[in-house]
Amino acid sequence: MTDIKENKGQVPYAIVEHSGNQYRVAAGDILIVNRIDAKPETSIDFGQTLYYENGSDIKIGRPILADVKVKATLLDNERGAKILVFKFKKTKNFRRRRGHRQELSRIRIDSISC
């Protein structure tokens, strides 16, 4: 059995920003992010890389890293689970029920190059 501390930092990873959210990504990861307007099997480049680590090689962006490129492939555009939004005011006989499904994209991280 290998120790977790020995394997820490062995796989290169980066922290990228997409549509206001930050994601920790490594090569081969599959993420679900907010919808990207492109067709499936399209290549995507993340321009906002905030952090990169490969063992002892650590780079911190202030605010972004221009030399680190994260490449991904869009696998599919889909919709999330339905959530219900219910508004209610007890004394006014006011009730509103609405459903919402978020537009999402499933992507696969292909490579992180430095």
Q: What is the pLDDT of residues 91-114, one digit of tens each?
A: 999 999 999 999 999 999 999 988
**Sequence letter at residue 71:** K
Q: Give the CA-trace dihedral at 35, 41, 46, 52, to 10 degrees.
A: 120
**Sequence letter at residue 80:** G
Give the 3-state secondary structure of residue 6. helix
- Scan for tokens 């890389």, then name that residue: 49
| Residue 62 vs residues 3, 19, 50, 51: alpha-carbon distances, Å | 33, 19, 8, 9
| Residue 59 vs residues 46, 76, 106: alpha-carbon distances, Å | 16, 31, 27
Q: What is the pLDDT of residues 4-46, one digit of tens each?
A: 455 455 789 999 999 999 999 999 999 999 999 999 999 999 8
pTM, entire model: 0.78
Query: Is the pLDDT score of 59 beyond 60?
Result: yes
| Residue 45 vs residues 26, 62, 82, 110: alpha-carbon distances, Å | 14, 20, 30, 10
